[in-house]
Each structure stands twice: as structure tokens, then as C-alpha cells.
Amino acid sequence: MKIALVQLTSGPDVQANLALAKDKITEAADSDAQLIVLPEATFQAFDAGRLDGNANEYAELFAEEITTLADERGVTVVVGMFRPADTVEVDGKTINRVYNSALITGGGSSEFYDKIHTFDAFAYRESDTVRPGESTVVVDVAGHKVGVATCYDVRFPEQFKKMADAGAQLVVLPTSWADGPGKLEQWRVLTSARALDATVYLLAAGQARPGGADKGGEKSGPTGLGHSRVLSPTGELLAEAGYDDEILYVELDDIAGEIAKARKALPVLRGTREL
């Protein structure tokens, strides 16, 4: 199966981001990719204005346009977006929260994964504006089971093991991983570890680094550091992007066989280990 990880830089304009996403999906489909993964917040970049207004106005349009294109091209697309969730009171203010969703669409069916672990860390509370999801998602893509996670989820190994226990052979991970001192190193360690301890192929598609490599290592806020990655079920790095916009391609052969071999050698999942 040929897979494309689209590393791009989204901005505040949803319609411009939609046009960019469609161009990149078309380019990847023209290169015979069957599974095309775009970053978290492709719909609207973080730190680019309120999320709720655009979610209310454009979420349905965004999802419909991506779904139509995926169906027309015969591919499966995973793309990060925001959609309306609920209304809550936070510190005396009324907040219209959104879901931080990954749309999984293609082959005549669509599903959303809503990020379970919101970024409530380092004195920041994503859950004030983003409602946490509640359920893991595993879908069928070209005869393979694919789990879905988003960004901060990567710090929670039990979620990845749960998807693997449910049959996932690959896990896609759309992200907008903040840059800063030590952040690239953490990103590499965490993605490698989640592939290894769940014995899955991990396909992590990130937002590119605004300003490119010249800004690499500087604090960026939640706007991406690039370095989309593909890891094997034994944690081996198969491909990695740089800081800038690009499409990272990888072709995986005998996925079921490689997964079976890894899980026989390393029986860490519920169905393979002695309890």
C-alpha cells in the first residue's frame, strides 16, 4: 500500500486551507497513494483566531468537499479539522467548544475521530475550547485495519495498545506539534515508542514549521515543527520529513506479515501475551 503524509502550513482562512488540502490530495493521488494523511488543524491553524466561528460556518462544507474528492479519486483521506461540539461556562464566560476531529473519508464512507486527550499541560487548557472525544476509532483501508489518533494522544500509550488490541495494524497521527527546545527530540522518541509498544506501523503527518528550518528549535506555539514520520512495528524509522512543506511517500509491502512477525517476536498486546 502506498501512503502519502502531507506536511503543509495551514493558516486562518478555511477556504484557502481547503483549496491547499485539495491540491495536495490530488497531487498524492496522482502519485498513486491509496492512503493520504494530512495534519491536525489543516482546517484552520492554531493561534489563527477563534475556532468556533469557522467550525460553525465551514465544517460541513470542508468535510463534504474532501469527501467528494476522496471518492472521485478512489483514495482514503485523513485530515484534521474542527467542528461544533457544545457550550460551557469557563471562568464566568460562555464558550462554544469545538471537537478537534480527524475526518477519515473514502470508499463511500466517512467517520470522525475526536481527539481524546486535549492538551491540558504546561499551564495551557485546550479543553476550555475543545471538547475531548470519548472513543477510539479503527477503520478498514484497502484491506487493512487503521487506527486514528491526534497529536497529544501520542503521550498516552494505552490508547495505541487499545487500537492494536482492536486489530489496528497501522495508526495515523495527524499533528500540529509545537517547536521549541527539546520538542523535536520528544517527538521522535514518542512516535518511535508508540509504534514499538503497540507493534503497529505509525504514520505521523505534521504541520510544517512556519519559517522553515531557519526557525527550527525556536519556540513556535502549537503551529508545527514538521518532521512527519513513518515507523515500523519494531520502531524502525522508515521515512522522515524535514521542517518545510512536502509530501512524504512510503510504500508498505506485506503489512499483515510484518505485523504478525513483530507481534510473535514481541508479544506485548492483550491477545499475544500471558496475563
Separation CA 214–CA 240 (nearest Å):
18
Residue 118: exposure state from Cβ atoms within 10 A (0-12, 13-18, ≥19): buried
| Residues 140 and 111: beta-carbon distance below 8 Å | no
Separation CA 97–CA 129 (nearest Å):
5
Residue 158 annotated to the active site: no
Sheet holding 76-90, edge to edge: 109-114, 93-106, 76-90, 35-37, 2-7, 246-251
Residue 89 annotated to the active site: no
Exactly one of 24, 126, 145, 151 is catalytic; which is it? Answer: 151
Residue 246 annotated to the active site: no
Exactly one of 40, 126, 145, 161 is catalytic; which is it? Answer: 40
Catalytic residues: 40, 115, 151
